[in-house]
Amino acid sequence: MHPNLSFDQAPPISVPYRFFLTAPWFGMLAGLLLAWSGGDGLGSRWTPEVLALTHLAGAGFMLQAMSGALFQFIPVAVGGNVWRPRLVANVIHPLLVLAALLLVAGLLFSNPALLSAAVPVFLLGAGGLVAAVALALWRTPATGMTLWSMRMAIGGLAITVLLGSLLADALARGLNLPLIDLTNVHLAWALGGWALMLLAGVSYHVVPMFQLTRPYPLWFARGFGPLLLLLLCAWSSRLLLDDDRWTTPIALPLLLLFSAYAVMTLWLQYTRRRKVDDATSLYFRVAMVSLLGFAVSGAAVRLYPPFGDDPRAIVWLGVLVFVGVFVSATAGMMYKITPFLNWLHLQRLGAPISAVPNMKKMIPADDMTGQLRLHVLALLLLLAAVWLPTLARLAGFAFAVSCAWLAWNLIGAARRYRMFTDQIRAVALHP
């Protein structure tokens, strides 16, 4: 018997939606911050603006969207039950929002009190998320590389948050710690150990599922996660060894691994059976091309000093990975998950299925592809603004508008859900 096996597509729709509907606002704030600060805000990774922008994207947009997706994905993909998902979401969602805002404000204004305040809130919110998700992931009887990737990813999130808290505390209290090394390790776990590990694990399911591609080869799925974990551990050794000679020999295989995932995904999409393109498949392609761009640029930073020594090079990498890879991939996922969840929950109201509008009636396709185009334009402007500061305000504004449009599209889906619910209930009461 499998007492923990969830065969239902729980949780309640409000659980993932609160995270999905919050995520774009952090993107909008990031765009507005850049449009407001303008000038040379993107001149170096250490400016208060860039630190704030990074965390609006990572601890705001990405963490919100990925938390919502986790709650939804665990029961369906790996048969796990998150304990009382509505209660857990009620607690951790506001904590994560507050923690991200405190952290961003603390970094932007270099304010020790705000940074100190962010730490316990973050530890509580993210700790609650990690505990609830880890429990579900360890108790499920399912097997497979998606499950293992998700387990590793949630471990990656835990390490990211612990290191981030240590950094915030060190900044707030002026502790004598190797801040640059700690930041590099924190960032590697955030982007590789948490976000990319999760994206890869989810890709093993959703890329074949949405596009009818062949599955990722077993050797790839079995090798990618453990190798990524191994290289991240090696990368973290810099904290103990303090020997810079190993940076390039570890960074290059790591970047090669990122490229392998991007090329494999693009190849599977290219050879797919389903020929219909939509916002999700295009968004995924933007994400994978950006990841390739990140890997090539990252290698150039290590191997070509005139490029690598320019402080803007790391900001360029940041735009590629945060906006190009992860905002793209998560927006694409939300555009597929949200219409399906609307349909799934509406048809559970007991109406005949013919009375439930299909997925394409939930968010107009033109709105999604229009928003996607604006997002790509904003990404290109942001990349250009790294080198041409006069473009910073325009790039920030474009990104803010594209995130506002994403929010509008997702809110539209939630409104349609409510409208169709009312219609179906009215028909049930007055047939």
- Kindly identify the residues of this chain, within the stretch 11-70, that bind other proteins according to CB under 8 A: none
151 or 336: whose CB is closer to other proteins? 336
Selected range binding other proteins among 2-10, 27-35, 182-190, 252-260, rule: CB under 8 A: 2-10
**Burial degree of 430 (CB within 10 A; 0-12, 13-18, 19+):** exposed
Contact partners, residue 74, CB within 8 Å, separation at least 6: 80, 81, 82, 133, 136, 137, 140, 150
Q: What single-letter DSSP state applies at residue 110? A: T
- Binding status of residue 77 toward other proteins by CB under 8 A: yes
Token pair listed for 284: 């995924």
- Kindly identify the residues of this chain, within the stretch 198-217, that bind other proteins according to CB under 8 A: 205, 208-210, 212
54 or 342: whose CB is closer to other proteins? 342
Q: How far apart are CA 52 and CA 275, in angstroms?
A: 40
- Binding status of residue 271 toward other proteins by CB under 8 A: no
- Binding status of residue 347 toward other proteins by CB under 8 A: yes
- Binding status of residue 9 toward other proteins by CB under 8 A: yes
Judged by CB under 8 A, the residue of 84, 173, 222, 360 near other proteins is 360
The angle formed by the CA atoms of residues 80, 70 and 86, to the nearest 5 degrees, is 80
The footprint of other proteins on this chain (CB under 8 A) covers a number of residues equal to 36
9 or 183: whose CB is closer to other proteins? 9
Residue 1 Cβ vs other proteins, minimum distance, rounded to whole Å: 7
The binding track of 118-147 with respect to other proteins, each residue x by CB under 8 A or -, is -----------------------xxxx---
- Binding status of residue 419 toward other proteins by CB under 8 A: no
Selection from 197, 200, 216, 217 nearest residue 208 by Cα: 216
Q: How far apart are CA 67 and CA 93, in angstroms?
A: 9
Judged by CB under 8 A, the residue of 358, 415, 425, 427 near other proteins is 358
Q: Which residues of 69-95 are buried (b: 16+ CB within 10 A; e: fewer)?
A: bbbbbbbebbbbbbeebeebbebbbeb
Selection from 147, 318, 114, 320 nearest residue 225 by Cα: 147
Backbone angles phi, psi at 110, to 5 degrees: 45, 50
Residue 285 Cβ vs other proteins, minimum distance, rounded to whole Å: 18
Residue 335 Cβ vs other proteins, minimum distance, rounded to whole Å: 12
- Binding status of residue 353 toward other proteins by CB under 8 A: yes
- Binding status of residue 112 toward other proteins by CB under 8 A: no
Judged by CB under 8 A, the residue of 246, 340, 419, 422 near other proteins is 340
Residue 211 Cβ vs other proteins, minimum distance, rounded to whole Å: 9
Q: How far apart are CA 32 and CA 325, in angstroms?
A: 20
- Kindly identify the residues of this chain, within the stretch 281-320, that bind other proteins according to CB under 8 A: none
- Binding status of residue 176 toward other proteins by CB under 8 A: no
**Residue 119 CA to its chain's centroid (Å):** 21
Q: For residue 180, give Cα distances in angstroms to 45, 46, 54, 116, 387.
A: 11, 10, 16, 19, 23
Q: How far apart are CA 280 and CA 406, in angstroms?
A: 13
Selected range binding other proteins among 29-37, 234-242, 340-348, 369-377, rule: CB under 8 A: 340-348
**Burial degree of 378 (CB within 10 A; 0-12, 13-18, 19+):** buried
Contact partners, residue 406, CB within 8 Å, separation at least 6: 24, 27, 331, 334, 371, 375
Judged by CB under 8 A, the residue of 84, 222, 274, 425 near other proteins is 274
219 in helix, strand or coil?
A: helix
- Binding status of residue 5 toward other proteins by CB under 8 A: yes
Token pair listed for 373: 């185009």
- Binding status of residue 267 toward other proteins by CB under 8 A: no
- Binding status of residue 10 toward other proteins by CB under 8 A: no
143 or 176: whose CB is closer to other proteins? 143
Selection from 238, 240, 263 nearest residue 249 by Cα: 238
Q: How far apart are CA 159 and CA 330, in angstroms?
A: 22
Residue 360 Cβ vs other proteins, minimum distance, rounded to whole Å: 4
245 or 273: whose CB is closer to other proteins? 273
Selected range binding other proteins among 116-124, 283-291, 345-353, 393-401, rule: CB under 8 A: 345-353
Give the interface with other proteins as residue ranges (CB under 8 A).
1-2, 5, 7-9, 76-79, 141-144, 205, 208-210, 212, 273-276, 336, 340, 343-344, 347, 352-354, 357-361
